[in-house]
Amino acid sequence: MNDIVIAGYVPGAIGRITELHAVYYGRDWDFGLFFESKVAAELSEFLRRFDPERDGFWTATQGGCVEGAIAIDGVRAGTEGAHLRWFIVSDAIRGKGIGNRLIAEAVDFCRRKEYPRIFLWTFDGLHPARHLYEKFGFRQADQVEGRQWGKQVLEQRFVLELHRGGAPC
């Protein structure tokens, strides 16, 4: 996978990341227009207010095409924790270690910023993603029935504690 480049924003990233989410979650989870528009709107809003001193954004590109992404929204990092968002890897590169590389970038960024914790929201049934989160030390903190993605699912909040008592773990 030497032809995969991990970078920041590239032109077309918002549309492509939205497409990756819409196609995967539409095909495998029957998510529809509500979900796709939510991803597009929230990702656009995040990148519009993006601050490299606080936020992280990485794309995985192959041949100039975005095939994966992950973001760290640090706007509430000091209180709630850094929010890991929009983690996705396309079918074309899934299972080749790119998800590991993206999560490692995000976690390393948060460690360098000395954020106390990272959290993410996912839902029950995304076993490969859950495996990756747990591999990096995330632990399930909450589980509730919810509709934040436009469809009733068992939502799960995962947390990775990075610093305790002001000292790195």
Considering its fold, how many domains does the chain have in total?
1
Structural domain for 30, as ranges: 4-168
The verdict on pTM exceeding 0.85 is yes
Decide if 137 contacts 162 (C-beta within 8 A).
no
Could you read off the pLDDT of 106-157 as tens digits, one per residue? 999 999 999 999 999 999 999 989 999 999 999 999 999 988 778 889 999 9
CA torsion, ordered 98, 125, 91, 150, to nearest 10 deg:
-110
Task: Note the pLDDT of residue 167.
Answer: 42
- CATH number at 37 reads 3.40.630.30
Phi/psi at 118 (nearest 5 deg)? Answer: -125, 140
